[in-house]
Chains A and B, each alone.
Chain A
């Protein structure tokens, strides 16, 4: 334990230096991706903070975009104030992030309160309702720009800041789980009643989870507002909450690194699809028949995998079966396409690949739930211990 503080300090300095270095490197090498990287890191923050509520504490919340929206509108409104507007940009961004987090945390407290009485799907629908109420009220409020949205000045794009925030969010969640306070979060997830019997303050834990999660979402929202310089209720639709939820679920509910990784992947895929263009600069189009054909083929593969999961127990055989089922998707997809092309409308109908993304998200979500409801990484973390020989005892409650 002697080397704790020096190591900690050195790693903090190292991380800060790394963030700045990355910022410079991106500016020099790929300035076009600068904004996208900021957005990606913001989505990581959103996913990891939702993971704290959903995965680690087990309180099912699906209104996370609302907290980001609150943070964004706080920043948008307050940065108009001359006292703030005259600040240099880095300080302004820092102050706005803090204020956004603070206001969102207040709302997180308010939403956390019903979670004391509700659980499971009822809580889910209340958080969804809360998100919708926030969106509808903003939509109807003239002073916030109503449905037209509101411009945010100044436009501040700092990758280093969002990276630092992201690291702070991940570090906070990771370190929290190593403390007594953090263990209560896991206790609430695993068994509320047993936790209560062991002296865990369940009420407190739930509310704290909501407050921390909301605060980080609010901070991300505030940075988002200044990055995009424009916000409207349409920036934070109900789907955004679902996307963040998909990130958490895909990565593994309870796995911080998993949800961070899933956030990057799920953010990158649609952005990548958007940049795909053919030689004429037009977006790539996908034939409707092929899309439906592959969709049906995937559904069959999912069903087959489900069957393999329950009925085949030999490991090698299982892997072979899986590979076969998923490799068959492509020829099957084309086969179904040929059949579907008997209909003349489907033969001519096509749409841009980038607009398929929500449909793809939905398929991912369903397939994941059917095959691996705990997410890709489950409760496990990605880390150096993967490469060590000796299995490290799972301190994050991974054994559960």
Chain B
């Protein structure tokens, strides 16, 4: 299993900036989902297990809309020049957000509202039940094998930006060019030789010598290439993912405005601070809860739409589980109940995940979330931005 820790020297530091950026992009999606967890927990003290499934459904909404506009495999086969547009993307985003918002509302109204007077564990089990129901009933009705994914043609922002952080030195570029020239030379010689041989696999001693020469030149070339690659450090930013990141940030800023500068936002903060007192102060807490679920689910829907469209993730009805759990961990990491905390936690989670892959433990990437969760809960249960107050009994 643990075939030795990766040696410091084995790590490729030139790809580290790229990995961090990838982590940031992934983290933006986690942050969007985490906001839903943290808002619901803040108001109701309930871990909304079904939030990951709302996210999953958001992906399907986006998929169906893209199909409706002729981005199915078959249609693309006939008309390969079809291109997405900003309008379609906007439609997908808004539809995902609205439909997810209403699904969240429905779940709250049907499953969680009757449980509000019950012990919190009963509500938690209900949430698990809703989550299982959406996964498995969804698996019966939604297309999931083979997992469909949104055609990349939907995204009009293809292509990428490159940011060069460091160029390879002149010497190593020259060395690479020289190695390339030698390799070409040797390859030509070998090709000449092949013509005189009986077959590729049965070489004369002269042929063997030339082949060995060629292989050596190949190795030299690879070595020079590695040196150049290690010195060249650049960040590749696919344009779609930049759009995704900017949209996420805008949504989060919008949420921030809503929570901090509107009357409803003030009501939400009050309910989150003390649910019972807020209701005594004339705040319609049911309306607050409804709005909280709607906004949280809509943000998850936005995250799902952008993840499936710009990162091209294939969908099954179970694909909401892992992002859901990771986003929940992100919310706990940032301090559950705290909106800036959820954003910070999400970004950190995304980066932690890509860093683990970078360290060479790719098969453990899904376990990182839980390790972080356990560590946070053991050492700083309040999270980074949350208050350290212990829950009283």
Q: Which residues of A contact B (CB under 8 A)?
A: 60, 62, 114, 117-122, 124-126, 129-130, 132-133, 136-137, 139-143, 192-193, 238-239, 242, 245, 249, 288, 291-292, 295, 299, 303, 306, 349, 351, 355-356, 358-359, 361-363, 365-366, 369-370, 373
Q: Which B residue sits closest to A119, measured CB to CB?
A: B391
Q: Which B residue sits closest to A309, measured CB to CB?
A: B114
B136 touches A359 (CB 8 A): yes
B370 at the interface (CB under 8 A from A): yes
A122-B381, A132-B367, A132-B370 known; A143-B121 Cβ under 8 A: no
B363 at the interface (CB under 8 A from A): yes
Q: Which of A136, A239, A370, A373 contacts B367 (CB 8 A)?
A: A136
CB of A365 to closest CB in B, whole Å: 3
Q: Which residues of B contact A (CB under 8 A)?
A: 1, 46-47, 110-111, 114-115, 118-126, 128-133, 135-137, 140-141, 321, 325, 328, 332, 363-364, 366-367, 369-371, 373-374, 377-378, 381, 391, 393
Q: How distant is the Cα of A277 from the Cα of B130 in the complex, in angstroms?
A: 30
CB of B387 to closest CB in A, whole Å: 15
Q: How distant is the Cα of A203 from the Cα of B9 in the complex, in angstroms?
A: 46
Q: How distant is the Cα of A339 from the Cα of B370 in the complex, in angstroms?
A: 45
Q: How distant is the Cα of A238 from the Cα of B377 in the complex, in angstroms?
A: 21
CB of B109 to closest CB in A, whole Å: 10
Residues of B within 8 A of A242 (CB): 128, 132
Q: How distant is the Cα of A140 from the Cα of B3 in the complex, in angstroms?
A: 12
CB of B319 to closest CB in A, whole Å: 14
A141 touches B378 (CB 8 A): no
Q: Which of B114, B119, B126 contacts A306 (CB 8 A)?
A: B114
B373 touches A126 (CB 8 A): yes
A118 touches B377 (CB 8 A): yes
A358-B136, A369-B122 known; A122-B128 Cβ under 8 A: no
Residues of A within 8 A of B129 (CB): 362-363, 365-366, 369
Residues of B within 8 A of A303 (CB): 110
Residues of A within 8 A of B122 (CB): 369, 373
CB of A373 to closest CB in B, whole Å: 4
B125 touches A362 (CB 8 A): no
The listed residue with most A CB atoms (<10 A of its CB), out of B115, B119, B126, B381, is B126
Residues of A within 8 A of B137 (CB): 295, 359, 362
CB of B84 to closest CB in A, whole Å: 26
> What would be 12 A-B contacts, judged by CB atoms less than 8 Å apart?
A114-B377, A118-B381, A125-B47, A137-B364, A140-B1, A143-B1, A291-B140, A359-B132, A359-B133, A362-B133, A369-B126, A373-B115
A362 touches B374 (CB 8 A): no
CB of B355 to closest CB in A, whole Å: 17
Q: How distant is the Cα of A114 from the Cα of B381 in the complex, in angstroms?
A: 11
B373 touches A139 (CB 8 A): no
Q: How distant is the Cα of A322 from the Cα of B374 in the complex, in angstroms?
A: 45
Residues of A within 8 A of B110 (CB): 299, 303
Residues of B within 8 A of A238 (CB): 321
Residues of B within 8 A of A299 (CB): 110
Residues of B within 8 A of A120 (CB): 120-121, 124
A136-B366, A140-B364 known; A365-B126 Cβ under 8 A: yes
14 new A-B contacts, CB < 8 A, other than A118-B377, A129-B373, are A114-B374, A122-B381, A126-B377, A129-B369, A130-B370, A132-B367, A136-B367, A139-B363, A142-B1, A192-B393, A295-B137, A362-B129, A362-B130, A362-B136
Residues of B within 8 A of A291 (CB): 140
A239-B132, A365-B129, A370-B126 known; A121-B120 Cβ under 8 A: yes
Q: How distant is the Cα of A249 from the Cα of B374 in the complex, in angstroms?
A: 26
B1 touches A62 (CB 8 A): no
Residues of A within 8 A of B332 (CB): 125
A369-B125, A369-B129 known; A288-B140 Cβ under 8 A: yes
Q: How distant is the Cα of A193 from the Cα of B393 in the complex, in angstroms?
A: 8
CB of B379 to closest CB in A, whole Å: 10
Q: Which of B46, B47, B132, B381 contacts A361 (CB 8 A)?
A: B132
